[in-house]
Amino acid sequence: MAIVRGNTAGGGQQAANLNWNHNNISTGSGILPVFTNVIAAGAVTRVTYAGQDLILKQTYITHAFGTIGEIKLWFLVGPPTGINVVQLTHTGGQGIVGISVDYNGVDQGNPFGTIKGLHQWILNSGPALLSEDLSTANTWMCVDAAVNGRLNAFPLNLIEGAGQTSLNRQSAGALPNNTTSIEVSDEASVGGTTTMSWTGMDNVDHWGHLAAPLRPAVSARGRAVKYFFPFWNAAPKLFDANGKIVSISDIQKDVWVEAQGLGMPTAENPASFIEDPSRSKIIEVNATQVSARIKTNKNQFAEVLVSRVAAGS
C-alpha cells in the first residue's frame, strides 16, 4: 500500500503555548507527525490534535546559552479528519516553531523505522551539510525536519537534498533575540537506503536534523478472498465477505475462494494464496438457474467444489 501525503501546516512564536490549524485529509491508516523545535527554555511538554494527545517519539537536546534547546518528533495514528487545532504546551522560549503533516497508508501498529538525527549549538560554526542515511524499503516514505537559528540575524534558508520535496518552513524570533526556523521535507523510498540531507548551515549558531522513515500499511491478507465455502455444511453454499449467500447467477470468475474447514489447523503460514491448500482462484463459471460448475486453478480444490456446489442448491 502506497503512502500518500495530505496537508501540512505550522507556526512559530516567542510566547507560550503555540497552536495552529491543521486540515487532516488522511483517513485510511492515517498518521499525523508533528516536528517541534525550541532554541532556549520553554521545552514542549505536550502536543495535542483535536484534543487528543500525540505520542513523543524522539528527542534531541542541546544546551544553548546556559539553557536547553530541543528538537522533537510527535505523532498520532488515526487522527480525526477535518480542520483541527494542533496545540503545543510550553512556558515560552526564545523561538518556538512547529510543523505538522498528515499521511495516508501508514502502518498503524508500527509506523516508524529507525529514526536518526542530532541537535547541536556552537557559535557561528554550523556544518555545511546535514545528512542522515535511513534504512528503508521500497514504498516507504521518509519525512524529516531541519532546524537552524542565529543569535543576531534571521535564520538562513536551507536547501533540501536531491529527491526531497520541501513541504513547509516556519520561523520565530525577533532581533536581537534568538531566531530560529524549521523546514520539513519528504522523499519516497525506492530501496534499502534513503538519504535525507540539507545544505546552507554555514555561520549558524544552532542546528538540528531529525529524519524518520514511515512504514506502509499492509493490507489484511484475508481481504483478497471474495467467496467462502464451508466445507462441512450440509447444504453447500458460497458466502461473500459479508456473510451473505452468493446467488448462482452472481458467481464471478477471476476471484479467490476459500474452503473453510478443509483441513486440520496448522501453524504453517503459506507465503501466498497459490501455496495455500485452502484457497483457489475461480477461472471459469458455467451456471444455470439451478446449478453451477466451477473450474479453479487447483484440481484438488476444483473436485471439492464441483462435487459439492455444482450438484445443486
Among the listed residues 302, 310, 12, the one whose alpha carbon sits nearest the alpha carbon of residue 149: 12
pLDDT digits (tens, 9 = 90+) for 273-297: 666 777 777 777 887 766 677 767 7
Mean pLDDT, the chain, rounded, equals 84
pLDDT at 283: 76
Peptide bond into 265 cis (omega under 30): no
Q: What does pTM read for this prediction?
A: 0.71
- The whole-number pLDDT of residue 302 equals 46
User: Tens digits of per-residue pLDDT, 148-185?
Assistant: 888 777 777 899 999 999 999 999 987 667 788 999 99
Average pLDDT of the residues in 91-115: 93
Q: For residues 63 and 307, which has the higher predicted lDDT (pLDDT)?
A: 63
- Which range among 56-65, 89-98, 236-245 shows the weakest confidence by mean pLDDT? 236-245
Alpha helices in the chain (DSSP H): 299-308
**How do residues 4-55 score in pLDDT, each as one tens digit?**
999 999 999 989 999 999 999 998 799 999 999 998 877 999 999 999 999 9
Give kind and range of the element (H or E) at residue 303.
helix 299-308
- The DSSP bridge partners found for residue 96 are 13, 38
255-260 vs 225-230, strand pairing mode: parallel
- Find, among 36, 44, 41, 90, the residue nearest to 66 by Cα: 41
Q: What is the pLDDT of residue 92?
A: 83
> What pLDDT was estimated at residue 34?
98
Dist. CA 289–CA 131, nearest whole Å: 67
